[in-house]
Amino acid sequence: MLPPAFLVCALAAVAHASPHHAHKVFESIASPDGWANLGAAPIDHIIPLRIALPQANFAALEEHLYAVSDPAHERYGAHLSKSEVEALVAPHPDSVSAVDAWLLEHGIPDSACTRSPAGDWVSVRVPVPVAERMLDTTFHVWKHTEDGNEIVRTTRYSLPAHLHAHVELVQPTTLFSRVKARRAEARSVGVQARVHDVRGVVAVARSDGTKLTVDAGCNETVTIACIRQFFNIGDYRASGTNGNQIAVAGYSEEYANAKDQQLFYADQLPEALNTTFKYVLVNGGKNGQDYDSDTYAENSDMQTVLGLAFPATGTYYSTGGEGPWIEDSDTRTDTIAPYGAWLDFALAQEKLPQTISTGYESHEQTIPESYAKRVCAGFAQLGARGTSLLVMSGNGGVGDAEGDPRTQSCWTNDGRHKRQFLPSFPASCPFVTAVGSTVFIPEVAAYSSGGGFSNYWSRPSYQGRAVSEYLTTQLRGTYAGLYNPNGRAYPDVAAQSINFRVALYGQLTAAGGGQQATAAFAGLVSLLNDARLAHGKPPLGFLNPFLYSSGLAVFNDITSGNAPGCGTQGFNATEGWDPITGLGTPDFGKLKDLALAF
């Protein structure tokens, strides 16, 4: 049902004549791969338009972010408050009035609009004909050729010329991307994880010449105890009373299951039995606890993060798609790039968890650059406020690790159909920490570990030296033309990723993939934050400036393994940073000493 305010604005819109200002094309994309155009959108379909106004002082926000995240800076740890961040991303008053006047021209009063706290996003629900007049475009129904999901989109839209300087993007228009989390390999439900039937311990050589002792069974099944050994966590335990929080951001109709959390605790962390985590629904997200539902997919990341960070407070964010799509009875809610919806929610909170893990990816090229940049700017705001955001580097190597090299996943979608390694978003955003995947003892890069170079963001200075060393001494021109040598390179770090022993659908099973590596690394970061909080220090916040400076020396460099894709052997794990395991795997003891020294 439509809210009353909307009815007023829709009726008014119908009564209004078309705008008098001349429109100019604002954004245009090639016909999207994998989607079929089914014809004009129904006129009673409601489009939840989101209009982004330029963030007037984003450059200043970025400066603050780097200052408070660089251990060598005197302002390290002096994170900004919610209102300080909002003041920096607020739009210029001229942009606000220009957009308001345009909306009013189309019969949309202020009362029909929802604004983000900083005013940098304006949302309004309008029927297709109104959106078409506002954007001088035609909306069509597009159907995904694989799963049949239908969405209403356009490949080109216009704005009055005088508005071009006052609007950064309007969506959903050209956004055809999809969020991927788990692949077949990553959800082996029904395969009973082998219990530690391998006895004894093995010595794991580390790149600094020292050795770690790890249970031999960890080569086959990765338990929380194994992760504690791989990460050299020793007997460190979080306190549970210092306000330390960790969250998992889930999308794509995947849910953390409370019963399975207990089963996991019974199996591996009995002291956590009967404790719960918070479940927060965002943007129509659901709380699917019913094993039988056919739309239900489980997300075990909460088990891994709390397996390490317990008794920190845990939160699972279940974020719905940015729909609504075609709202007939048998079409499932789609899940296209809901990162923005989650960010709206997160940035509106006064207090944020210090550590957040998210195991999802989309091909960067499927997200319009303007939209990806705004989402990435939102991640920068989280960092400026003191949150460490860990994202998965991907499950498909440089393209599609398992896929057919001739499929679309190794080709540009810009109409040129050029063969390319395809970077993943959000890993390619320079304001997140991207986690790659390792496997086995001794640790090698996992064949599925995602990695590469962004086409949207140039290389941030914090990784300049590490990455150029890789390019000049290791890659030396190989794959020229298949990747952007000047782009933000990822992953930043790596962790074990395959055969995690978790509980899914009421049974103990093995699950693996980049999301497990990400959750494990997030658990480690939460323990580091715990140590800092226990010493009265602010949390670590945005990690990369720390990891690539003093942190660099204490990572365990992973130097073998490769992640094939796109008909190539992909990148190799090498000495120093590489685009498959980043700086390597973490050593908690050493990172904690560093983190407590500043």
Which chain residues interact with ligand NAG by CB under 6 A? 202, 219, 273-274, 440-441, 474-475, 478, 562, 569, 571-572
Tallying the residues shown for the chain, one arrives at 598
Kindly state the smallest distance separating residue 569's Cβ from ligand NAG, in Å: 6
Kindly state the smallest distance separating residue 515's Cβ from ligand NAG, in Å: 22
Question: How far, in Å, CA of 137 to CA of 310, rounded?
Answer: 52
Kindly state the smallest distance separating residue 562's Cβ from ligand NAG, in Å: 6
Rama region for 77: left / alpha / beta (φ>0; ψ in -120 to 50; rest) = left
Q: Report the residue number, 30 or 273, with the smaller CB distance to ligand NAG.
A: 273
Kindly state the smallest distance separating residue 159's Cβ from ligand NAG, in Å: 44
Q: Report the residue number, 431 or 479, with the smaller CB distance to ligand NAG.
A: 479
Output DSSP code: residue 354. Answer: S
68, amino acid identity: V
Q: Report the residue number, 460 or 579, with the smaller CB distance to ligand NAG.
A: 579
Contact 327, 527 (CB under 8 A): no
Kindly state the smallest distance separating residue 405's Cβ from ligand NAG, in Å: 16
Contact 354, 387 (CB under 8 A): yes
Residues 6+ apart with CB under 8 A from 394: 361, 424, 427, 449, 450, 451, 514
Question: How far, in Å, CA of 498 to CA of 516, rounded?
Answer: 8
Q: Which of 357, 376, 461, 369 minimizes the C-alpha distance to 413?
A: 369
Q: Report the residue number, 219 or 287, with the smaller CB distance to ligand NAG.
A: 219
Residue 261 CA neighbour count, 13 Å, CB half:
25
Kindly state the smallest distance separating residue 486's Cβ from ligand NAG, in Å: 18
User: If DSSP states are collapsed to H, E and C, what string results for 59-109?
Assistant: HHHHHHHHHHHCCCCCCCCCCCCHHHHHHHHCCCHHHHHHHHHHHHHCCCC
Kindly state the smallest distance separating residue 231's Cβ from ligand NAG, in Å: 18
Kindly state the smallest distance separating residue 474's Cβ from ligand NAG, in Å: 6
477, amino acid identity: G
Q: Report the residue number, 529 or 562, with the smaller CB distance to ligand NAG.
A: 562
Q: Report the residue number, 430 or 564, with the smaller CB distance to ligand NAG.
A: 564
Question: For the CA atoms of 230, 231, 237, 239, what is the dihedral angle to 10 degrees?
Answer: -150
Question: How far, in Å, CA of 506 to CA of 514, rounded?
Answer: 23
Question: How far, in Å, CA of 251 to CA of 320, rounded?
Answer: 6
Chain-centroid distance of CA 382 in Å reads: 12
For residue 498, the SS3 value is coil
For residue 146, the SS3 value is coil
Contact 73, 146 (CB under 8 A): no
Q: What is the C-alpha R_g of the chain?
A: 24
Q: Which two tokens stand for residue 468?
A: 């150029």
452, amino acid identity: G
